[in-house]
Amino acid sequence: MAFYNKSAVIFVNAGMAKPFLSLVYLGVVQIMKKIIALAVAAAFTAPVAFADVELGPFSIYGTAATAVEIISVENNTGKPLVSTKDSQTRLMDQTSKLGFKAKYDLDNDYFALAQVESRFYLGNNGDNTDDKAEIGSRNTFVGVGGKQVGTLRFGRYENAYKLSLKQIVPTLYGNLNDASSTYGSKQILNRLGGRQGDIVAYESPDWAGFSGNLSYNFGKDSTNSISAGSAGVPSNTVATDLMGQTAVGIAYKHSMFNVGFGYTTISNAAWKLDGSSGASAKNLTGSQKLEAYQLGGQVNYMDFSAGAVFERTTSSLSGLAKGNFDQYQNVFGLIAGYKKDALEVQVQYAQANDVDGTTLVDTGGQQASITVAYTLHKYVQAVASFTKMHNQTNANFTSASGFGLDKGNDMNQFALGLVGKF
């Protein structure tokens, strides 16, 4: 074969091809070795600023969870329902999250923590979630601690009242999906527990089975609080006092059982409990008090668990011409669980009794659910649940996946979805 060039004529036959290619290969290898050597030398002579960057023990974690929910509403109001509160089938997120965390050793068994955890949505019934899925919307904090003294966190974190539920009945706290959950701000249990953005939280180590949590949320002004207007008529004004919240939880854990107690109080706030889940803690003029306590336990035997929790929420107000009250409400929850190999089953029941201290009747509700989960992979789980919600005439409790019910309406909710963890 011949190649023609103005300066020379080179003849290459088939027998010369292999030695030629070998020479080319050796040349490329030598060039690459020089490039790598130069890169290594450059790395060791880089500016000092790069040497100061330390990532430490850093990890990324998260959960991607969603479910198709088939919701059947029983309308007991006698009035037409808006489409968002009527029977429907929807795709609903089941608390998907993405987190970044790091833990740094400080010697002598002390450490420092940093974490940023954010919410994101895999389905949300068509709602615009751009303003909800913000960075750091979940547990986001810095902290310090030691193996013998516990951990102190600053930032956004779950208050000690919510965490005491985890200590008392861990199976109930670790529900398999939102559609079956019985606790939260609009649910029957643990309405004063929650994640708060201005919190200092302490978590003790395990002392011979005993443990404790303590938290204080500095609170925020409420722009829709109620205070006394002219002639004693309530009017919406900006609050002048912060609604700080103090919470504490103590517990004992044994291989076969858990027991615990939680208490919380909110300063400068009251809550008309007969408003059901539509009510919220508000700063009001007058002498006011809002507090709650819960206690219970869980028994663990082989692959089975069974637990119960009792809770009382109390609110009082005096000094406002219209709206004085002294109310309390008792609620309780039951759960049974089974977990073996890839199969997990949970059966829950929660009941809110009528609010005491009000002329309004039928202010309670009930929720029952059964949830089955099957592990398809170490990090992938299929979850199905059926939840029945019954509200009395003046109550509108709902499950934690957030479907809004009018007062007095009941709901059957079937959910089928997938959970992926990483």
The residue ranking higher by pLDDT, 3 or 369, is 369
User: pLDDT tens across 247-280, in order?
Assistant: 999 999 999 999 999 999 988 777 878 876 545 5
Beta-strand runs (E) in 229-268: 234-237, 245-253, 257-266
User: CA 121, CA 98: separation in Å to the nearest integer?
Assistant: 10
**Residues 336-354: what's their mean pLDDT?**
97
Query: What pLDDT score was predicted for residue 318?
Result: 78
Q: Which residues contact 144 (CB under 8 A, 6 or more apart)?
A: 106, 110, 111, 112, 113, 151, 152
Query: What pLDDT score was predicted for residue 25?
Result: 46
3-class secondary structure, 21: helix
User: pLDDT tens across 89-104, in order?
Assistant: 999 999 999 999 999 9
pLDDT band at 132 (very low <50, low <70, confident <90, very high): low
User: What is the number of other CB atoms lying within 10 angstroms of the CB of residue 73?
Assistant: 19
Q: Which amino acid is at 10?
A: I
**Residues 113-131: what's their mean pLDDT?**
80
**Residues 184-210: what's their mean pLDDT?**
92
User: pLDDT tens across 318-328, in order?
Assistant: 766 556 778 99
Q: Is residue 40 pLDDT above 50, yes or no?
A: no
Query: What pLDDT score was predicted for residue 219?
Result: 79
Q: Mean pLDDT lowest for which of 7-11, 33-37, 260-264, 347-351?
A: 7-11
- Residue 86's φ and ψ, nearest 5 degrees, are -105, 170
Q: Which of 165, 189, 171 shows the shortest CA–CA distance to 337? A: 171
User: pLDDT tens across 42-92, in order?
Assistant: 444 444 444 444 456 889 999 999 999 999 999 998 889 998 899 999 999
Q: Which residues contact 295 (CB under 8 A, 6 or more apart)?
A: 168, 260, 261, 262, 309, 310
pTM for the full predicted model: 0.81
Is the CB of residue 307 less than 8 Å from the CB of residue 287?
A: no
**Residues 376-395: what's their mean pLDDT?**
96
pLDDT band at 213 (very low <50, low <70, confident <90, very high): very high
Q: Which amino acid is at 133?
A: A
Residue with tokens 């290898």: 29
User: CA 203, CA 212: separation in Å to the nearest integer?
Assistant: 6
The two three-digit tokens of residue 343, written as one number? 């199969």
pLDDT band at 157 (very low <50, low <70, confident <90, very high): very high
**Residues 346-361: what's their mean pLDDT?**
94
Query: What pLDDT score was predicted for residue 167?
Result: 94
Q: Is residue 225 pLDDT above 90, yes or no?
A: no
The two three-digit tokens of residue 372, written as one number? 């089955």
Its sign, for the CA torsion 193, 346, 171, 415, is negative
Query: What pLDDT score was predicted for residue 107?
Result: 87
- Residue 46's φ and ψ, nearest 5 degrees, are -70, 160
Q: Is residue 150 pLDDT above 90, yes or no?
A: yes
User: Mean pLDDT score of the chain, rounded to an integer?
Assistant: 82
Query: What pLDDT score was predicted for residue 344?
Result: 98
Q: Which amino acid is at 149?
A: V
User: pLDDT tens across 386-416, in order?
Assistant: 999 999 999 999 999 989 999 999 999 999 9
Contacts 24+ apart (CB under 8 A), 135-140: 138/97, 138/99, 138/195, 139/99, 139/115, 139/195, 140/115, 140/116
Query: What pLDDT score was predicted for residue 21?
Result: 42
Query: What pLDDT score was predicted for residue 316?
Result: 86
User: CA 286, CA 320: separation in Å to the nearest integer?
Assistant: 6
Is the CB of residue 271 less than 8 Å from the CB of residue 308?
A: no
Beta-strand runs (E) in 319-397: 325-340, 343-352, 365-377, 380-391
The strand pair at 210-217 and 150-158 is best described as unpaired
User: CA 310, CA 157: separation in Å to the nearest integer?
Assistant: 24
Work out the percent of the chain whose per-residue pLDDT is above 70.
76
User: What is the number of other CB atoms lying within 10 angstroms of the CB of residue 231?
Assistant: 6
